[in-house]
Amino acid sequence: TAAGERAEAAFGRIDVLVGNAGYGYLAAIEEGEDEEIRKLFDTNVFGLADVTRAVLPGMRARRRGHVVTVSSLGGLAAFGATGYYHATKFAVEGLSESLAAEVAPLGIKVTIVEPAAFRTGWSGPSMRHSAIRIDDYAETAGARREATTATYGHQPGDPVRAAEAIIAAVGAAEPPLRLLLGQAAYTIATARLETLKSTFDTWRETTLGADFPGKETP
């Protein structure tokens, strides 16, 4: 809130907000530490929500603005060892999609950015690790802990090109609600869509049978 007030005072208005605060936490779900989990949500979810709420009054008054929330490929698909991180990013996805529906009539745009692995400190210096290690998860969460930290410094995503892509999206006549960044993001997200549709179709009859009798079948 204070940063938003300083920006308003210095520049007169905030046209674009990029909510980028966030970090990762490696732990199997059972290995999660209460204090670390809450700190993660405080930054990745509540911090983003706080900053967004701080800039919305000015954007509403001007009937224009663009809120960019940095989610992750991990807001669309989840893997072992990063479950709590995924939970924060799934929350960001829902929060942002609701926001988009609420502010569209007010002239405010929303874009959710979903990067894959980019060459930042996410898998290195900024990554938090649970001190708890349970042997039964060594081949799942444990293996992915090691694989994730091994990517540091070798991630394929270029932060400069990512920033350029975000600027291009914000400047578009019809900005996207969601913007995937990186080849891996596109490949994994589209495979996720296909898996979801396959599962939904396989269980279609069971799904439709949960309504009261007499409902029309779509």
Predicted pLDDT at 7: 83
Number of domains in the chain: 1
Q: Is residue 216 situated within a structural domain?
A: no
Q: Is residue 192 situated within a structural domain?
A: no
Predicted pLDDT at 217: 57
Predicted pLDDT at 215: 61
CATH of the domain at 8: 3.40.50.720
Given phi > 0 = left and psi -120 to 50 = alpha, else beta, which region is 81?
left
Q: Which domain holds residue 159?
A: 2-183
Does 19 or 214 have the greater pLDDT score? 19
Q: Is residue 191 situated within a structural domain?
A: no
The yes-or-no answer on residue 39 being catalytic is no
The residue annotated as part of the active site, out of 71, 72, 123, 130, is 71
Q: Is residue 111 situated within a structural domain?
A: yes
Q: Is residue 217 situated within a structural domain?
A: no
Q: What percent of the chain has pLDDT over 90?
A: 92
The yes-or-no answer on residue 71 being catalytic is yes
Give the model confidence (pLDDT) of 59-93 as tens digits. 999 999 999 999 999 999 999 999 999 999 999 99
Predicted pLDDT at 130: 98
Give the model confidence (pLDDT) of 108-126 as tens digits. 999 999 999 999 999 999 9
Percent of the chain as helix, strand, coil, to the nearest 5: 55, 15, 30
Mean pLDDT of 16-28: 97
Q: Is residue 198 situated within a structural domain?
A: no
Find out whether 67 and 52 touch, Cβ atoms under 8 Å. Answer: yes
3-state secondary structure of 110: strand
The yes-or-no answer on residue 85 being catalytic is yes
For the CA atoms of 190, 193, 198, 203, what is the dihedral angle to 10 degrees?
Answer: 170
The residue annotated as part of the active site, out of 25, 72, 84, 89, is 89
Q: Is residue 53 situated within a structural domain?
A: yes
The residue annotated as part of the active site, out of 85, 96, 109, 123, is 85
With CA atoms as reference, report the closest residue to 155 among 1, 21, 31, 24: 24
Q: Is residue 160 situated within a structural domain?
A: yes
pTM of the model: 0.94
Predicted pLDDT at 216: 65
Predicted pLDDT at 6: 83
Residue 138 phi, psi (nearest 5): -60, -40
Predicted pLDDT at 218: 58
